[in-house]
Amino acid sequence: MPSLALSDMKEEKKMKKKIALEATPEQDSKKGKKEAKLKLSDSDGDESEKKKSKKKEKKRKAADVDESEGAKSDSSSELVEPETSKSEKKKSSKKVKLGVEDVEVDNPNAVSRFRISAPLREKLKQKGIEALFPIQAMTFDMVLDGADLVGRARTGQGKTLAFVLPILESLINGPAQSKRKNGYGRPPSVLVLLPTRELAKQVFADFEAYGGAVGLTSCCVYGGDPYQPQEYKLKRGVDIVVGTPGRIKDHIERQNLDLSYLQFRVLDEADEMLRMGFVDDVELILGKVEDPKKVQTLLFSATLPSWVQKIAARFLKPEKKTIDLVGNDKMKASNSVRHICLPCSKQAMSRLIPDIISCYSSGGNTIIFTETKDQASELSGLLPGARPLHGDIQQSQREVTLAGFRKGKFSTLVATNVAARGLDINDVQLIIQCEPPRDVEDYIHRSGRTGRAGNTGIAVMLYDSRKSGISKIEKEAGIKFERISAPQPSDIAKAVGMEAAEKITQVCDSVVPAFMAAAKELLETSGLSAEVLLAKALAKTAGFTEIKKRSVLTSMENSVTLLLEAGRPMYSPSAAFTTLRRFLPEDKVNSIEGLTLTADGQGAVFDVAQSDVDLFIAAGQKNAGSVSLEVVKELPKLQEREPMQRRFGNNRFGNNRGGRGGRFGRGGGGGGGGRGQRW
């Protein structure tokens, strides 16, 4: 019996050790730890075993404390509570259960640090978003906690998700959940106003994608589409309505849109609404809310002109929050974009642009901006594989065009300012502006279509050397242009030669034997080296049959740029022409193109036909004295003349209401003059 009791005691000690070891994993719950502790206390083992178990218990508690600081919710939690102090955020990165998978939370803007529920986190992950942009991170808690907000950020910084995510989270788990109406015919809880159809469709796409993941429905309404389908969707009931001011106003007047249960109203690109003449419509729509205190208002804008500030003061609560990522600095162009300016006459444009694309697009998409709709249509017809996009094109066709561009069915889009803001198109490597825009802000937004979300891009601006306005853009956009001349034949040949070489290497090996005999015979009979023959093959593959000279002043083919210096200041172009007439025939002087004075006032540059170069140079040498003529290989700095402004000041496009009809019209009509005519 004594020996049996002793063996029982030994077995009991082994069991206690086993229990202590099983209770040590980091993921054990508090309940498991208490049970382990209880079993240890009930055992009658010796004191040394109890001391060991107590030490292990202390280690487990320390590990539990560390883990509780790294994560405040487990996989069963619906919301991820954010860290509440900066000291907590600086702690070592622990992996926390998020319901999707373990994610590192070193990044202070990591999605895991915000109160974003599992379905939305999963949707963000599917789209490759692991951390919020600064404007999104800074505003998320403010919006979710119910504050009115004015958010200011430059283009391409993610303003859309800055309101989409917290609004959706509030509707499904936050303060707005209990107030949201359900069922057939329910009025919307959210109204979002945007200035253009394209922006409205893009914001709607985000609400549809993320809202659909949490069971919320969205509707997009804008001019140019029939009323009936929009009316049907509104009467069935939706949670979120996104649209342009004109069509939203129409639906309110037709009693299709009930704002009595509205919880959120959002104005996106508010400064552009002002420029497009939507002031009255926006104020009418905002004024339809009976009790503004019950509605949360969010206003996002790249700039804050006086009207936007008045709207914020009038319709947002006095205790509104302001997030400004621009500050007192003037709006600046993206610093992830290489800014290039290049002289070009209108006659040379259709021939020059394909060469610019060959040299600078790197195989990515290109957007070309024109100032008028007619220019966009005309230029797209001259460029191979290009498609136009402007306000006169039917909305259905515009959607097909944008979808084809996004999917890579064609790589060149020729557009007016309808594509300057908000269009989120991947892989836009190159932006070409056919002339300096009248507003520097237009340049900033256009060039901002590339170099987005951490990528780099190139923006090329073409200009007439006699009236460029480049210095103004540099000053106000905060950039420094690279002043270069048009791509010369050698540059183009190098670029297209690389593409041709890639095509040759992609030829299937199975077809090589069929051409081997012809290749050997060519090598033996041509008398040329293999390198020369291959170069000719590349040139033929690339479509290069001849090399043409190109002016550095106007980019015209078969033209050469000359520099005239007379040994004294030239105060006007007429002085240069007078000097040339002293030693050149009248018909040759009249054939000169693009004469422009140099910035130092001591000379002038101009183009002549390549066939006349020798005649001009010889005449200049014969005329001796202080006059000199020479071929220019690099353009000197030239005098700039500011482009003439339209007579009507800020309202230079005529009737804004008519313009809106052409570009965003309620029924898709042509819309008279104004911006509709321009865009």
Please spell the DSSP secondary structure of 10-39, one letter per residue.
HHHHHHHHHHHHHT--TT--HHHHHHHHHH
Q: How many domains does the chain have?
A: 4
The reported pLDDT for the residue numbered 649 is 38
The reported pLDDT for the residue numbered 331 is 63
Residue 196 contacts by C-beta under 8 Å, 6 or more apart in sequence? 244, 269, 272, 418, 421, 422, 663, 664
Instruction: Choose among 430, 441, 198: nearest CA to 333.
Output: 441
Confidence of residue 432 (pLDDT cuts 50, 70, 90): very high
Q: Is 475's pLDDT higher than 60? A: yes
Q: Is 635's pLDDT higher than 80? A: yes
Report H helices in 361-439. Answer: 373-382, 395-406
The reported pLDDT for the residue numbered 284 is 93
The pLDDT tens digits for 213-222 are 999 999 999 9
Together in a domain, 449 and 371: yes
- Residue 388: beta bridge partners? 414
End-to-end C-alpha distance for the chain, whole angstroms: 104
The pLDDT tens digits for 482-495 are 988 888 766 777 77
Q: Does 550 map to a domain?
A: no
Together in a domain, 221 and 350: no
112, 96 contact by CB (below 8 A): yes
User: Which of 267, 300, 324 is a domain's end point?
Assistant: 324
Range of 484-488, 513-517, 621-625 with top mean pLDDT: 513-517
The more confident residue out of 155 and 590 is 590
Q: Does 288 map to a domain?
A: yes
Together in a domain, 264 and 223: yes
The reported pLDDT for the residue numbered 299 is 94
Confidence of residue 119 (pLDDT cuts 50, 70, 90): very high
Write down the residue that tokens 């002339």 correspond to: 435
CA-based angle 146:150:151, to the nearest 5?
A: 105
The reported pLDDT for the residue numbered 224 is 80
Q: Is 241 helix (H, G, I), strand (E, B) or coil?
A: strand
Backbone torsions φ then ψ of 283, nearest 5 degrees: -65, -35
Report H helices in 543-602. Answer: 573-581, 586-590
Dihedral (CA of 461, 463, 465, 471) sign: negative
Confidence of residue 5 (pLDDT cuts 50, 70, 90): very low
Together in a domain, 381 and 265: no
Least confident of 139-143, 408-412, 623-627: 623-627
- How much is the average pLDDT of 40-64? 48
The more confident residue out of 206 and 679 is 206
Q: Does 534 map to a domain?
A: yes
Q: Does 34 map to a domain?
A: no
The reported pLDDT for the residue numbered 424 is 67
Least confident of 117-131, 201-215, 254-268, 328-342: 328-342
The pLDDT tens digits for 386-428 are 999 988 888 788 889 988 998 889 999 999 887 776 566 767 8
The reported pLDDT for the residue numbered 455 is 79
Write down the residue that tokens 């808690």 correspond to: 141
Report H helices in 321-451. Answer: 349-360, 373-382, 395-406, 440-447
- How much is the average pLDDT of 624-648? 73
The reported pLDDT for the residue numbered 115 is 93
- How much is the average pLDDT of 15-35? 45
- How much is the average pLDDT of 301-321? 89
Q: Does 547 map to a domain?
A: no
Q: Is 454 helix (H, G, I), strand (E, B) or coil?
A: coil
The pLDDT tens digits for 542-601 are 666 666 778 889 888 889 999 999 888 888 999 999 999 988 999 999 999 989 999 899
Q: Is 140 helix (H, G, I), strand (E, B) or coil?
A: helix
The pLDDT tens digits for 248-278 are 999 999 999 999 999 999 999 888 888 788 9
Q: Is 89's pLDDT higher than 60? A: no
The reported pLDDT for the residue numbered 624 is 58
The more confident residue out of 504 and 344 is 344
Together in a domain, 482 and 520: no
Confidence of residue 57 (pLDDT cuts 50, 70, 90): low
Q: What is the mean pLDDT of the chain?
A: 78
The pLDDT tens digits for 648-672 are 333 333 333 333 333 333 333 333 3
Q: Among residues of the chain, what percentage have pLDDT more than 90?
A: 35
Together in a domain, 264 and 168: yes
DSSP letter assigned to residue 544? -
Q: Is 390 helix (H, G, I), strand (E, B) or coil?
A: coil
* CATH number of the domain bearing residue 176: 3.40.50.300
The more confident residue out of 238 and 31 is 238
- Cα–Cα distance for residue pair 150/135, rounded to 1 Å: 11
- How much is the average pLDDT of 623-651? 69
Domain span holding position 503: 491-542
Q: Does 61 map to a domain?
A: no
- Cα–Cα distance for residue pair 604/600, rounded to 1 Å: 10
Least confident of 204-213, 367-376, 638-647: 638-647
Q: Does 60 map to a domain?
A: no
- Residue 219: beta bridge partners? 241
Neighbour tally for 202: CB within 10 Å: 20
- How much is the average pLDDT of 465-485? 85
Q: Is 508's pLDDT higher than 90? A: no
The reported pLDDT for the residue numbered 595 is 92
Q: Is 18's pLDDT higher than 90? A: no
User: Which of 324, 350, 376 is a domain's end point?
Assistant: 324
- Cα–Cα distance for residue pair 72/80, rounded to 1 Å: 7
Least confident of 40-49, 310-319, 437-446: 40-49
* CATH number of the domain bearing residue 616: 3.30.70.2280
Q: Is 8's pLDDT higher than 60? A: no
Q: Among residues of the chain, what percentage have pLDDT more than 70?
A: 75
Together in a domain, 221 and 291: yes
Instruction: Choose among 429, 443, 360: nearest CA to 155.
Output: 443
Range of 63-72, 149-158, 237-246 with top mean pLDDT: 237-246
Together in a domain, 215 and 309: yes
Q: Does 28 map to a domain?
A: no
234, 250 contact by CB (below 8 A): no
Least confident of 39-48, 209-218, 292-301, 470-479: 39-48
The reported pLDDT for the residue numbered 453 is 65
Together in a domain, 361 and 442: yes
Together in a domain, 518 and 600: no
Instruction: Specify the pTM.
Output: 0.56
Together in a domain, 168 and 198: yes
Q: Is 646's pLDDT higher than 90? A: no
The reported pLDDT for the residue numbered 651 is 37
Together in a domain, 127 and 264: yes
The reported pLDDT for the residue numbered 146 is 93
Q: Is 81's pLDDT higher than 90? A: no
- How much is the average pLDDT of 361-369? 89
- How much is the average pLDDT of 604-629? 87
